[in-house]
């Protein structure tokens, strides 16, 4: 079974600082990778996803992530954070189950607090 | 917006009572999922459905059952609620583009079991 590790539980940054959130997964097969964001009191929203092709993926709101196969990593980056980026960020790995459905395994999340 | 609604959005119940949460989708997706979200655990899959009357267990299915009698509705039932089932419950659908599947989430139901 696959697992996803997000190493930082809580990250605190000042506005305009650069962000990098780590995500490592353990899965031997073909992986599909996702980052979701959850703003306070809201549901999960898709930030970006990787299925194949260019390992540098650009998402919404200026976020990007790089898939490094040799390191089993899919780190999320943003060059300059804003107060509105305060949220919890979840990395997820997708795989096909035996019943033909597609399942996600989530990391435990990283809370980002941006100080104005 | 993935056209997903969940009801109720908030519920307080007592230990031992049955509780049913409803997920409704408007886009005719085949796959639907129920997750629970707890601090420090991320989201964990409870049950999923791959068609009408076709369901299977996820990682944390004990104490939960599901039903899907029509494409648009996926019900989650806590047969006898316990305090450990206090959580936020999210429904999701899977939207496919060719071979690429992406899950989109509903607004969630916050459940408190006293």
Q: How far is B37 from chain A (nearest CA, A)?
A: 10
Q: What is the mean pLDDT of chain B?
A: 94
The answer to whether residue A111 scores a pLDDT higher than 60 is: yes
What pLDDT, in 10s, does the model give residues B46-76?
999 999 999 999 999 999 999 999 999 999 9
Top-confidence residue, B24 or B101: B24
Residue by residue, DSSP assigns A4-28 as EE---SEEEEETT--EEE--EEE-S
* Contact B3/A at CB under 8 A: no
Are residues A100 and B50, on separate chains, in Cβ contact within 8 Å?
yes
Could you name the CATH architecture of B4-113? Sandwich (2.60)
Q: What are the structural domain ranges in chain B?
A: 4-113
CA distance A51 to chain B (A): 7
Check residue B48 and give its pLDDT.
Answer: 94
Q: Is the pLDDT of residue A101 over 70?
A: no
* Residue of B108, B105, B89, B96 whose CA lies nearest to B3: B105
- Confidence grade of residue B1 (pLDDT, cut at 50, 70, 90): low
Rounded Cα distance between B91 and B75, Å, is 10
Please determine, for residue A99, whether its predicted confidence score (pLDDT) is greater than 90.
no
Token pair, residue B24, equals 């409704």
* Domain A3-115, CATH among 2.40.30.30, 3.20.190.10, 3.90.1150.10, 2.60.40.10: 2.60.40.10
Return residues 28-57 of A near B (CB < 8 Å).
32, 34, 36, 42-46, 49, 51
Tell me: pLDDT of B105 over 70.
yes
Residue B25 pLDDT > 80, yes or no?
A: yes
């Amino acid at each position: 079974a696959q697992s996803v590790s997000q190493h930082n539980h809580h990250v605190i940054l000042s506005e305009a600082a650069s962000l990098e959130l780590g995500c490592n997964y353990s899965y031997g097969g073909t992986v599909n990778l996702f980052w979701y964001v959850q703003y306070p009191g809201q549901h999960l929203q898709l930030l970006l996803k990787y299925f194949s092709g260019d390992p540098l993926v650009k998402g919404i709101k200026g976020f990007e992530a790089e898939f490094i196969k040799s390191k089993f990593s899919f780190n999320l980056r943003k060059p300059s954070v804003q107060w509105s980026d305060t949220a919890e960020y979840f990395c997820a790995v997708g795989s096909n189950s035996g019943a033909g459905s597609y399942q996600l395994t989530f990391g435990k999340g990283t809370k980002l607090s941006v100080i104005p | 917006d993935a056209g997903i609604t969940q009801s109720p959005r908030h519920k307080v119940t007592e230990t031992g009572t049955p509780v049913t949460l409803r997920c409704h989708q408007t886009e005719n997706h085949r796959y639907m999922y129920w997750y629970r979200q707890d601090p420090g655990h991320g989201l964990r899959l409870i049950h999923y459905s791959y068609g009408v009357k076709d369901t299977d267990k996820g990682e944390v299915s004990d104490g939960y059952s599901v039903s899907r009698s029509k494409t648009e509705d996926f019900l989650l039932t806590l047969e006898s609620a316990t305090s450990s089932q206090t959580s936020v419950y999210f429904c999701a659908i899977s939207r496919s583009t060719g071979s690429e599947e992406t899950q989109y989430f509903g607004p969630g139901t916050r459940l408190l079991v006293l």
